[in-house]
Structure 1
Amino acid sequence: MTTRTSLRARRTLHVTGAAVAALLMLSACSSSDGTSSGAGPSASGPAKLSGTVTVFAAASLQESFTALGEQFEKAHPGAEVEFNFGGSDALAASITSGAPADVFAAASTRTMTIVTDAKDNASAPVTFARNQLEIATLPGNPDQVASLEDLTKPGLKVVLCDKTVPCGAAAQKALDASGLKVTPVSYEQDVKSALTKVELKEADAAVVYKTDVRAAGDKVEGVDFPESADAVNDYPIALLKDSRNAEAAKAFVALVRSAEGQKVLTEAGFLKP
């Protein structure tokens, strides 16, 4: 299941943005300094970005990309960012079926390949972050889950992401490496759905990403497990070649990869690429 979100429909977040300030200063200098030695028309400054940028992004990126979208709109008042968050595989299928999008950010290189291999649909992807798994339990960890093996306890209601989506594939890799078998009460189509089962107390535990546990706050408790180090997912981002707003899309990708973008992602719990 995917979630479409337009940033204009929400209150602006008060996020500090050194990169945004730098962009605004650069724009002001470009428009006022007619003595620039650059080859372009410095007196008029760079072309103003406008229109909508449609970003298809893995569900685990929802909080950090929403914050970056707010920053992008502050830096470019004429532009709007619209997000479609969901399971990476479902998003990839939508893109290859012709859904209009400008940028794709996936939770695994395998999922990105689905798009890049389909009639050369995207520019060369670049890894911008990495993510590691963690066990989410009920607050206070009443079932005393301390390891991946504990998820095999009889009567424990465990939720996993479907094996076809990145979080599920990573969880299965960790389980296989440990020789463990978990029979979940359900397989979910994206990591947020898996986490929600625990938040609603419909499950006792779920294998999700560290970033999702952090975003949930006190609604869940996180449990690290060493096997997760062998199942870390790379997150690639790419500009789609049939983008209807290529210049603005390039600028958004640049923000994600910038020092400010990396700061937002690191604070959300993502690992550096």
Structure 2
Amino acid sequence: MMKQLRRAMLVGIMALGVVACSGDGETDAAKAEGGDVEGEVLVFAAASLTDAFGDIKTAFEEDNPDAEVQLNFGGSSALREQILAGAPADVFASANESNMADVVDADEVAGEPQVFVTNELQIAVPAGNPGKVKGLDAFANDDLLIGLCAVEVPCGDFAREALEGVGVEPAIDTNEPDVRALLTKIGSDELDAGIVYVTDVTSAGDRVEGIDIPADDNVVAKYPIAQLAGAPNGDGAKSFKEFVLSDEGQQILTGYGFGTP
């Protein structure tokens, strides 16, 4: 009788174990189907990524309903300084490789940065081109109001590289902290011309016109992305970076005019 009782108890314990394991499996499966990222994902991104990353945020949150992406846009050099000063961030997406290299050198990056898109420069003028700008030579004209991004901001460094390549000393009236600030002044007729990215001219719609820079005189910008070593949300950082590099993320980016790596 005692043996039968012990056998019955053992069978009952085993049955409970099977049910418990089955429950855990169902929970994991349900979690995977609903996305496995939770909490805030803090993304520091170059200003030229504003529109594209807005759509990427939406798509990522749809895949991960328990996650919330917080986007902080600015000039890549300013974002670099914020990261090096200890600002909490999970992901850094820079508009050039040199600012990312500074963050890598400071041991603030987990793993290796990856280039995820490219971009090219374009001359931007207000609608109707009141200054009659035709090319890079116009940037030496003191009679025009000329703007560039500031030195160390990628769009500013690339613009100066392009101008130096054709022997033009620009008559600069303003140096803006990021490409969107420059684009805003051009679109509101405060400037006759500036040098921004192709993607920014596209995003500005009818307010701005673009004048192509010949391929031999242009500069190709490479954008790297990295998970940060001190990421408050390491899983979220890894997943967001992977999403940007995925086919879906790349499709969103190319839809805004970015080139593939």
TM-score, length-normalised on structure 2?
Answer: 0.86
2:32 aligned with 1:44: no
RMSD of aligned alpha carbons: 1.8
Deviations 1:54-74 (A, max 9, x none): 000000000000100001111
CA distance in 1, matches of 2:93, 2:183: 20
Return the match for 1:131 from 114, 119, 127: 119
2:117 aligned partner, one-letter code: A
CA distance in 1, matches of 2:218, 2:260: 16
User: Structure 1 residues 229 and 153 mapped into 2: Cα distance closer, same or farther (>3 Å)?
Assistant: closer
State the 1:144 CA deviation: 2.1
User: Structure 1 residues 228 and 245 mapped into 2: Cα distance closer, same or farther (>3 Å)?
Assistant: farther
Q: Is the 8 A contact 2:107 2:229 kept in 1?
A: no
State the 1:230 CA deviation: 4.0
Q: Superposed, which structure 2 residues align to 1:122-271 within 5 Å?
A: 122-226=110-214, 230-271=218-259
CA distance in 2, matches of 1:69, 1:249: 12
CA distance in 1, matches of 2:154, 2:201: 16
CA distance in 2, matches of 1:74, 1:119: 32
Q: Is the 8 A contact 1:174 1:227 kept in 2?
A: no
The unaligned stretches of length 5 or more in structure 1 are 1-33, 35-39
Q: Is the 8 A contact 1:132 1:228 kept in 2?
A: no
User: Structure 1 residues 229 and 247 mapped into 2: Cα distance closer, same or farther (>3 Å)?
Assistant: farther
CA distance in 2, matches of 1:74, 1:146: 44
2:61 aligned partner, one-letter code: E
State the 1:163 CA deviation: 1.7
State the 1:118 CA deviation: 0.5
TM-score, length-normalised on structure 1?
Answer: 0.82
- Choose between structure 1 and 2: higher helix proportion: 2
Q: Is the 8 A contact 1:123 1:238 kept in 2?
A: yes
Deviations 1:146-174 (A, max 9, x none): 21112223311110001211000100110
CA distance in 2, matches of 1:229, 1:125: 28
Q: Is the 8 A contact 1:132 1:229 kept in 2?
A: no
Q: How many residues align?
A: 235
Q: Is the 8 A contact 1:115 1:122 kept in 2?
A: no
SS at match of 1:124: strand
CA distance in 2, matches of 1:182, 1:241: 40
**Which has the larger Rg?**
2
The unaligned stretches of length 5 or more in structure 2 are 1-21
Which residue number in structure 2 is paired with residue 85 of structure 1?
A: 73
SS at match of 1:101: coil
Q: Is the 8 A contact 1:134 1:225 kept in 2?
A: yes
